[in-house]
Chain A
Amino acid sequence: MIRIENLHVRYPTSEGEVHAVRGINIDIDEGEFYTLLGPSGCGKTTTLRCLAGLETASEGTITIGDEVVYSRARNILVPPHKRNIGMVFQSYAIWPHMSVFENVAFPLREMRGKFSREEIRDKVARALKLVQLDGLQDRPAPFLSGGQQQRLALARALVREPKVLLLDEPLSNLDAKLRESTRIEVRDLVKRLGITTVYVTHDQLEALTMSDRVAVMKQGEIVQEADPVELYQAPRERFVANFIGQSNFIEGKVSALPASGSEIGTAATSSGQIKCVLPAGFNLGDSMLIAVRPEDITVVAGGAAAAGNVVEGKVSATSFMGDSIEYQVMVAGAMMRMKLHPSTAVRQGDTIRLNLPEESCRALLP
């Protein structure tokens, strides 16, 4: 449905040229919910704006549906108002001089002549109902709350029934509670409509809960593209492991490669030999990192015999989080974080033994 090939964006600034997007390739299926995730300045919004036509790329090709909307090589550039898209801006961009109705009717009126007065009324009413704003038609747009404005922006983007919906951090201006419920609402809505959606966010939770597929971007490049589960469980880089959720990292060298039919290899670290998932491509003696999530670490009971990766450490700090307790444990001179159930009876200063389950330890390139 959407195809981006070798997209480059460069623009001049007073401090010289900025290469904001560096040759990314994306292929999005019809009806897919695709997310561009990354810290600010990673090029995700620039990519989205190129897709919308609000910014012009320097190189590459963009295809929406069957139509090439941008191609440097073939000198094609379709202006935004000719691309059949809907877009929700981070600021919502609700026109303050129009009523709720007029805001939503705007895209329809811009297809001048295509719809009659009644059709526009029906379509606007349907769009507003979709986002549960029915009944607020005549209200001046500035008199809406933040959440209502967000939904109004969504209704405006959807009213034309576009082929593609672009969402630029649409939830970042909502408060935490509202953000949580809106996440689910938005995903359900676009899935129900079957509309192809590109979502830009820096919030990993939004990316994981809403998307079919996530592309993590860093400095203008996509570092990993995967479905949320894989992204969380099998990050390929330290950047991804750190950006999505939390991770402990242990430095080491490959000391044994996996036996055939197994993924588990061994690494020599300052905490001894640790077994971990070792993807293909590592050789004996390679430097590597072992990533292990705080919630995967367990405590080995006092006298129990230790099997698997067991390390010893001293609890240096605890913090009560409500649904869990977070511990900072000194293990062989390095700080490790772990998350345990609040009922755990481990205190600050205790020396404990930790189990790092081998299937939860993943080898990454350093």
Chain B
Amino acid sequence: MDLRRHPLPLRPSPPALMGRVHGGGGAPGVPMGPAIGACLPGGRLPLGVLHALEPAPGAEVQHGAVVAGFAARVLARIAGTWLWVAAKGDLHAPGLVACGLDPARLVLAAARDDAAVLAAMETALRGGAFAAVVGEAGRLSRLAARRLQLACLRHGCTGLLLHRWPYGRPAQTKVAQAEEASSRGQSGEQSSAVTRWRIGAVASGDIFAPPRWRLELLHARGGVPGEWIVEAGERDAPDLVCVVAELADPAAAPQRRRLG
């Protein structure tokens, strides 16, 4: 192939991305509500691209349950069959039902390590048969992220990358390492994933209420970053999350930062 005449679309240009979101052969995105939608290109979480989800510092970086909950709720709003690749097999399928996801449409895959997870993700994305592919991996090279994003764009498949650090060794040092890595901001894949989120749990005060998260949009191509306290949407609600309105404390209230 003559690369000069057919340049590889390594990175979707914003107009192309907007075209994907607003029709013109693209799939609709996942609605996130008006407040968050204002920060996203096209007002929704776009499909057919790569998203990176990372946990907020704390114990969360090890078990990654909140990030998995967010990903499961995204999957539940995408039609088709999904694949979930992880090196650690602690995902509990009955727990997905509470997120509104039908485990019958989910295929699970176990990989040896992070590299195998990424390779399997790419294989699945290139196959074009899955509507969405979720992968749990600790670190991601710039090249691997590029390849994943390219595979997503080529085959119209949504990729969700869950950052997660292994545990089993002394917890203190691992957590410290993970926090450090998390605070560094993972600038490596900033340019590849279309959106990058950091999600942490926030106390809701009521165990029967939907879980409450601090949702940070660290990076959105064609959008602007933002930070909100949200509550997971109900199972049949159209929106993935709803912003909690009654935050009285101005220090804890979501702050919109215009960095774009």
A and B are interacting partners: no
Interface residues, chain A, CB within 8 Å of chain B?
none
Q: Contact residues of B with A, CB < 8 Å?
A: none
